[in-house]
Structures are given as structure tokens and as C-alpha cells.
Amino acid sequence: MGIKAVAVYSDVDACSLHVRLADEARHIGPSLSSESYLVVDKIIEAALETSADAIHPGYGFLAENPALARSCIVNDIKFIGPPPEVLHAMGEKTIAKRMMTKIGIPVIPGIDNPVESAAEARGIAQQFGYPIILKASMGGGGLGMRIVRNEWEIESAFRSAQSEALAAFGSDSVFMEKYIGQPRHIEFQILADSLGNVIHLGERDCTIQRRHQKLLEESPSPVMDEKLRHEMGEASIEAAKTTGYQSAGTVEFLLDENRKFYFMEMNARIQVEHPVTEMVTGIDLIKEQIRIAQGEKLSIDQKDIKPNGWAIECRINAEDPFKGFIPNPGRIESIRFPLGPGIRVDTAVFDGYEIPRQYDSLIAKVIAHDKDRKSAITKMECALTEMKIKGIKSTKEFHLALIRNRNFRKSQYDTYFVEKNIDNLRDDLKMESKMAAIASVIDVFLYTQRISTKKNDFDGSREGATKSTWKLSSRLKTKKKK
């Protein structure tokens, strides 16, 4: 777009890719995010020092913090996101639920006000029946959430949810909802300008999760039909108009086994998984965000949105899937990314990059796009196979096991698919590791056979060596088929 970019960075991010690529960079403090990226005054100071016209908050840290949006207004800086009052309303989930209820959008049965004590939670649970779910009133990303299946779990679950919510969002406020069994997690991408125009760009299926953290996303959803897409899309547009929303955002729903949808929350920011929508629509969502912030009218209408093909995203993290997905920070010795038509990789890492302990362990988002779901899955399988990471453990092989799973390919899963199938997926993962080791041994053996064959050429005995190699190859093919 011809706009110069200023990067801000903490101590540990001094050599990061975004710092290297930016036109200018400003150091804003120590590695701890609470002393750098989460300090509004430091962000504003960096913008003023460099005469920046606008601040794009990304999808983490301060992206949904009204304080940053308000400070931008005070300092005559454009905040590339919704107005502060919208951030406040959508950040407080109980307020958002009341607004949706008022305009007739289905919400998950529960209460609209924060729960003050475990005793109060127990009384409400008796009213709605178990299981119920406790959720942090502020924030998102699956933090501060606890499923409670009986009254004996209430006390510890309530304290745990409060503690995690306070640590993550600075507020220990939690509320309660009826737990929806076997749901799909469907979200709709919206764009809204300052002139009142709102459109949706179709849905993303984010059902594959682990502990409420998304692992894989795809667009469109394999369980969606045109009627349901229209109903949920219109509900998303109505939600945005009612709240006075501006910028890119996401309206998230749970879809139960009877195909009834419920409003869950609205994320007032760009999402981690936005690339799958960009791949199927051809629309650059960040460009649209910037244009909206500049006061421009949306460059597209609802009738212009014509999704093309299928896109899948895998979030590859520096985690050890054999040890409870514990983060595995450290130095990446080397990394090779997949290439080719329909493949996109969003990443900030490179050979020699040090995965920091202080932040999220995301290495890269690998996105595959093709004509249909089956083709996109095949392309993703090839991409993940081509991707090589040395020096740290990652979830790459786990994602391979996931997309090769029969039930995933048949789209027979819910948000607890990974938890319910973790042992089978790990077994598949171990088998992949064993097969890779066997393949390496075979490669070495065949290499020595070829060397031996060449040597035998000089002795006039090439035919015997070739037959020997051919017999070994035939046996291997037979075993592979079995």
C-alpha cells in the first residue's frame, strides 16, 4: 500500500523478523509483555516519536484493549480497529450476550451477569442442570474456561477459572452458561466501515481444538449448507450493526448436533486464522482494515463475495505432543517451508531463530488452498511432509496424524475430538516416527547397493547386483501395501 511501517519490540524480540523488515523500529522495554507490549503509554510514545499516523494492534496483546483505542483518539492517532466503546462492550461477554438477546440472536442458556461466588454458581447450576461451563467475562482464546460436570467440581473450577482470568486479563470476573455437548465451532468474518456498511465473508470452521485453543481451521465449513450459511451470516451482520462495529471482526457461534446455532462471542480484532478466508475470497483483510480506518467506504458489496475452493490452516507450534504439548522453546537450527501453488506460510521464524519462553509458541501457520476439501487436505499433507524443522520439537507431525485421521476426513468430529482421540493420534504419530526411521535405513542401504552395483559394472557382474536390488525393492513394496 506504500505505507511505511514502524515496528516496536521488547528485549527478546530485538532480532525478530518484523524488526528486520520494518522501515523503522523502536525498543519499548523488557521481555515480559507486562513491561513492554502491554504498556499503552510505551506504544503511544513510540508512535509519537516516529510521527506514525496509525497503530495496528495485530491479534494479540492490546488488540481488544479499549485503553489503547482511547489513547489513540486523545493523541490524534488512528486506531486500526473498532471504537473503544465497542471494544469494551464486546470484551465484556455478559454485555455482548444481553445485546444479542435484545435483537433476537440465539444465545447459549445461562446468566448475563458475573458470578460472585462458588455458592452462587452452585445454585445457578441446579437451575440449568449439569454440565455447565464457567467463562472469563473478559478476554478470550479459551483462557479462564472450566467445564463443570457435577456439584463437587464447582468449588475448585470456580477458583481456577477466576485465577486464570485474573492472570490473563486483569479481571477475575466469570460467568456461567449451559454446556453444549458435541458442538461445532463456527465463526463468521465480517467487515464494517464507518458509514454503516457491513458484509460477511463466509464462515470458518474452528472445531478442531485442544483445551479451547484452536489447532486447525478451514473455510468453508464441511457441515454448512446455503440456508444455514445465510441465517448465520445475517445474524453476524445484525450483531455488527447493533453494536456500531467498525473494522474487521469475527462473530463466533456454537452449532449443536441438531444444527441449532448459538451466539458465543464477538472478537473485535483480526483473527489468527484469517488467512483461510483470504485464500477462498481473494480479499486482503488487513488492507480492508486500513482503508476502513482511513474513513473509506467498503470496496466490496455482499454480492461480490464469491468463495472459491477450500482452504485449511494448521498452526504449527513449538510444543512436544508426546509430553502434554508442553512448550519447547529454543533455537531453530534450520527450517524449510513448503512451496508451490495454493500454499501460503505466515511466519516470523528463520534459521537460527530463538523461540522465546515469554510468548506464544507459534512457529508458523501453514495454509493450503485447492478446489475442494479432499484436494486441500491432500495438498496440506504434502506441505507438512515437505516442511522440515530441526533443533526443537514441534506439532507438525501431530497435524499430519490429525489430517490423516479417517474421522477428520469424513468431518465426523466436535470440539473435543482431539481430547477423545489423543491416544490414537499419538499412536499414529509414533508410527510415523518409526516409519521415518525405517525409511532412512532403507535409503542408506539402497545407496550402498547402488555404489556396489556401479563397482560390479567393472567386474562384469552388474546383472546380479541389479536383480538383488530389484528383489529388495519388490519386498518393500509388498510390505508397504500390506
- The residues annotated as belonging to the active site are 269
Q: Which three cell numbers stand for residue 320?
A: 512436544
Compute the radius of gyration of the chain from its Cα atoms: 25
Rounded distance between C-alpha atoms, residue 121 and residue 126, angstroms: 9
The DSSP result for 115-172, as a single string, is B--HHHHHHHHHHH-S-EEEEESS--TTTT-EEE-SGGGHHHHHHHHHHHHHHHHS--
For residue 117, with 0-12 CB atoms within 10 Å meaning exposed, 13-18 middle and 19 or more buried, which class applies?
exposed
**Residue 369 to residues 49, 219, 377, 433, Cα–Cα distance (Å):** 41, 10, 9, 27
Rounded distance between C-alpha atoms, residue 76 and residue 53, angstroms: 8
Rounded distance between C-alpha atoms, residue 63 and residue 65, angstroms: 6
Rounded distance between C-alpha atoms, residue 255 and residue 234, angstroms: 16
Residue with grid cell 479499549, as numbered in its chain: 66
Per the document, the length of the chain is 482
Q: Which three cell numbers stand for residue 258?
A: 441438531
3-class DSSP state of 178: strand
For residue 31, with 0-12 CB atoms within 10 Å meaning exposed, 13-18 middle and 19 or more buried, which class applies?
middle
Rounded distance between C-alpha atoms, residue 271 and residue 330, angstroms: 26
Name the packing angle between helices 93-102 and 226-243 (round to 10°): 110
The DSSP result for 377-417, as a single string, is HHHHHHHHHH-EEESS--SHHHHHHHHH-HHHHTT---TTH
Longest C-alpha distance within the chain, in Å? 90
Q: What is the residue type of 372?
A: D
CB–CB of 383/403 below 8 Å?
Answer: no
Rounded distance between C-alpha atoms, residue 120 and residue 175, angstroms: 11
Strands 261-267 and 247-255: antiparallel
